[in-house]
Chain A
Amino acid sequence: MSRVLVGVKRVIDYAVKIRVKPDQSGVVTDGVKHSMNPFCEIAVEEAVKLKEKKFIKEVVAVSCGPSQVTETIRTALAMGCDRGIHVEVSGKDYEAMGPLQISKIFAALAKKEEASLVILGKQAIDDDCNQTGQMTAALLDWPQGTFASEVTIDGETVKVVREIDGGLETIKISMPAVLTADLRLNTPRYATLPNIMKAKKKKIANMKPADLGVDMVSRVEVLRVDEPPTRLAGVKVETVDDLVAKLKANGTI
């Protein structure tokens, strides 16, 4: 009875211009358009594809956060997931929430739901941590196939082609395992209208981190958030010698 857990994160939409809050404690999120993290979309698509190819029976979409994240779970349901789990985290806990807390939640859920695979996006576009998948695998003591650009299930093992700096690496890992999706794994489908209708009827279970025995205490404290320095105008030079001279002059070389 193969079940897959897919993590979906609600993040500020990629097209939005990010603004830092005046008190420098974070970025402005009020009234700003949010959507599913693009790498999570790819993860959902892969899970639904595996289900369509009949390698797995059930796909469960999981998200952690306040009530608004149910929109993201519904989008995952509209893409083809069977049911959702909303782990309620709000207020200070939500602001301090990071990969460590999330991976603890996912590890607990993976055991509780008896999942054979946990598929996550490789990173979120808001914090760019690229840690949750790896931490989840470590907590569960499961093998991990990260930066996956191709996933093939073969019986009780998974062949993962990983995108690494040097090119592509192919590994074979046994299930249960944690996979994280990279950009070229697939092209996420558009939610079709009939599926949006069906998503309305699918269940989203509600629970708190405490129900899973997870404490949300963070060991990380955000001190300050700054905008990146404004880009200064460049200088054009005519020859390579000029370039070298200028670089020497401003101390770069």
Chain B
Amino acid sequence: MGLMIAVVNVSIIDIVYRSQKPCLSWLLGWLSMSQIHTIGIVPLSLSPHLSPSLSLSALGLCGCRSLSSLAELPEMHQMMRQTSRDYADRELAPIAGKLDKEHLFPARQVRELGAMGVMAVEVPEALGGAGMDYLAYSLAVEEISRGCGSTGCVVSVNNSLYIGPILKFGTPEQKDQWITPFTNGEKVGCFALSEPDNGSDAGAASTLARQEGEEWVLNGTKAWISNCWDASATVVFATTDKSLKHKGISAFLVPMPHPGLSLGKKEDKLGIRATSTANLILEDCRIPLGNMLGPRGSGFKIAMQTLDGGRIGIASQALGIAQAALDCAVDYAHKRTAFGAPIGKLQAVQFKLADMAVAVESARLLTWKAAMLKDAKKTFTKEAAMAKLSASEAATFCGHQSIQVLGGMGYVTDMPAERHYRDARITEIYEGTSEIQRLVIAGQLLKEYVP
């Protein structure tokens, strides 16, 4: 019976075994003495038997990411992170307050981000994108969101929710027509799944699509559509066969503006105010047959898979907001004096900062792991849900505690803490509420542990 061993870097040892317990303690002793460096392990879906099994191919030999990458990112990713951070620090952070106050869409910044490749990170270069992986995308969204949460939302929606499904399910012609013009920041897209009567209950889509000759005719209303007032196209989900319930939903590509498609009033939101959110109203909206995305009836599957990836994007956005809130609090703790010393010396404040930092860092590692699994083409549903859940809760926690550390200053618009608090709140709601994430995680766990 073979023994599968993976040793990660210095003195961190992870051992998985397929056979019954070998002499583990002897093995541990030998391994730690020889300090074998290397490759790491990529966790696979757990086998239902005795213990997790690991195949040799996953031991980093096929180029899968390893745990050691979680400790230090590869050089290219570091560079990518740095350039996004530089941009966010210099171009977004100074105007974020104004964008929020005046509900302004950052059109120029989106174009500049497009020129940098940030609006289409995963899209292959042949189609006009940056040709990088999901980990790089996650890093970019986090850094951008750290500068401005709203801009992070625009980047995330365009990359994950609009381009994502077309990249995965589109025909080559659809990719040319609907992806390439949306890679350089000149145009952004949006994603229309939720309806006034069903958000979490996505399977109950009441928007209908009927075929009339060479056209699809769409009727219905979509709600809470991010980016819609600034978008030039949308992926819409509509029921083509009501009798098939959620297997009767299909996905469609609709340009904007378009006859039969109108937008409701811009919602007046608590946070991410530089993005537009509104209803999308379809009244006999006619589109060519070629505008269906993926096979008929696969709409629900497309939506769920898209949201899986979108979760990593939103987790990254939440991380950026959380980090910004933490940075604000730590900076203030250095500068504000009370009781004769900077408040950073007080344990009460220190404990808050520590809790915030742990929340952010653990959510970050979960997010990176989910991104790495996706890049390695492993299943990542559970990890993405865990990432989104922990990151969004970290964001609201950090936003809350950051205001607390700043005291009165945290409550006024002179400091960004109140904006982070408001921006963070939505991350627990959109692209799958925290409650839905818990259901997803539990569902995956229960599947793994078949008695």
A interface vs B, CB < 8 Å? 35, 71, 74-75, 78, 190-194, 196-197, 199-200
Among B79, B86, B87, B115, point to the contact of A196 (Cβ < 8 A): B79
Among B82, B86, B116, point to the contact of A192 (Cβ < 8 A): B116
CB distance B76 to A197 under 8 Å? yes
CB distance A197 to B86 under 8 Å? no
CB distance B79 to A190 under 8 Å? no
B125 at the interface (CB under 8 A from A): yes
B interface vs A, CB < 8 Å? 75-76, 79-80, 82-83, 86-87, 112, 115-118, 121, 125, 130-132, 136, 140
Residues from chain A with a CB closer than 8 A to the CB of B80 are 193, 196
By beta carbon, the residue of chain B nearest A35 is B82
Residues from chain A with a CB closer than 8 A to the CB of B76 are 196-197, 199-200
CB distance B115 to A192 under 8 Å? yes
By beta carbon, the residue of chain B nearest A75 is B79
B123 shortest CB reach to chain A, Å: 10
By beta carbon, the residue of chain A nearest B80 is A196
A206 to B228, CA, bound (A): 52
Given contacts A197-B130, A197-B131, contact A192 B75 (CB under 8 A): no
Query: From DSSP, what is the main secondary structure of chain B's interface residues?
Result: helix
B131 shortest CB reach to chain A, Å: 6
CB distance B117 to A190 under 8 Å? no
Q: List 26 A-B contacts (CB under 8 A).
A: A35-B82, A71-B79, A74-B75, A74-B79, A75-B79, A75-B82, A78-B83, A190-B83, A190-B86, A190-B116, A191-B116, A192-B83, A192-B117, A192-B130, A193-B83, A193-B121, A193-B130, A193-B140, A194-B117, A194-B125, A194-B130, A196-B79, A196-B83, A197-B131, A197-B132, A199-B76
Among B82, B112, B131, point to the contact of A194 (Cβ < 8 A): B131
CB distance B75 to A71 under 8 Å? yes
Residues from chain B with a CB closer than 8 A to the CB of A192 are 83, 115-117, 130
A86 to B135, CA, bound (A): 29
Residues from chain A with a CB closer than 8 A to the CB of B121 are 193
Residues from chain A with a CB closer than 8 A to the CB of B82 are 35, 75
B190 shortest CB reach to chain A, Å: 23
Residues from chain B with a CB closer than 8 A to the CB of A35 are 82
A190 to B79, CA, bound (A): 11
A143 shortest CB reach to chain B, Å: 34
CB distance B75 to A193 under 8 Å? no
| Most chain B CB atoms below 10 A, which of A74, A191, A196 | A196
A35 to B130, CA, bound (A): 24
Residues from chain B with a CB closer than 8 A to the CB of A194 are 117, 125, 130-131
- State the 5 A-B residue pairs at the shortest beta-carbon distance, nearest first: A193-B117, A193-B130, A192-B116, A191-B83, A196-B79
CB distance A78 to B79 under 8 Å? yes
| Most chain B CB atoms below 10 A, which of A190, A193, A196 | A193
A-B contacts besides A190-B116, A193-B83, A196-B76, 13 pairs, CB < 8 Å: A71-B75, A74-B79, A75-B79, A75-B82, A78-B79, A191-B79, A191-B83, A191-B116, A193-B117, A194-B125, A196-B83, A197-B131, A197-B132
A236 to B338, CA, bound (A): 26
Residues from chain B with a CB closer than 8 A to the CB of A199 are 76, 79
